[in-house]
Amino acid sequence: MVVRARRPAAGRDGSPSGTGDSGRDRRPAVGGYRIIQVDEPALRELLPPRSKDKDAYLRWAVDAFRLSTSGVADSTQIHTHLCYSEFGEVIGAIADLDADVTSIEAARSHMEVLGDLNAVGFSNSVGPGIYDIHSPRVPGGGGADLVAA
């Protein structure tokens, strides 16, 4: 398991929580969990249609994700999952989430998102989904192997 220091999101006053208590230890006991998952950070789903509003929204969404995960110990591995989407517009924001592991539904795009992540220098772990749960086709013996190859 990879363990690394977190880069917490900053509040308006520069502290991780936005309350000015940047020196306080904000690592509550989490019941001994070594892994948490924040599902669907809504980077693409709620992206404003107007170009002028997109950067501010993505900054807000990334900060909200990072703030929600900033209270865990550095040894807690953070996972996130993104359902199928056109990730091109938000690929930088996916990297900015700074999740240890990002699982992405990639079957519909034939793994295209993996190339996009490499292009922006994404260096954290990625778990590409090879079967879309919404598909009417149930893969047989080697169907999933063909997508992953």
Tell me whether residue 23 is in a domain: no
- The answer to whether residue 81 is catalytic is no
Given a cut of 60, is residue 83 above it in pLDDT? yes
Domain around 122: 35-148
Tell me whether residue 136 is in a domain: yes
Tell me whether residue 109 is in a domain: yes
Domain count, the chain: 1
Given a cut of 80, is residue 111 above it in pLDDT? yes
Q: Which two tokens stand for residue 146?
A: 């063909």
The reported pLDDT for the residue numbered 17 is 46
Tell me whether residue 129 is in a domain: yes
Among the listed residues 79, 81, 110, 134, the single catalytic one is 134
Q: Is the pTM of this model over 0.75?
A: no
Tell me whether residue 114 is in a domain: yes
Tell me whether residue 126 is in a domain: yes
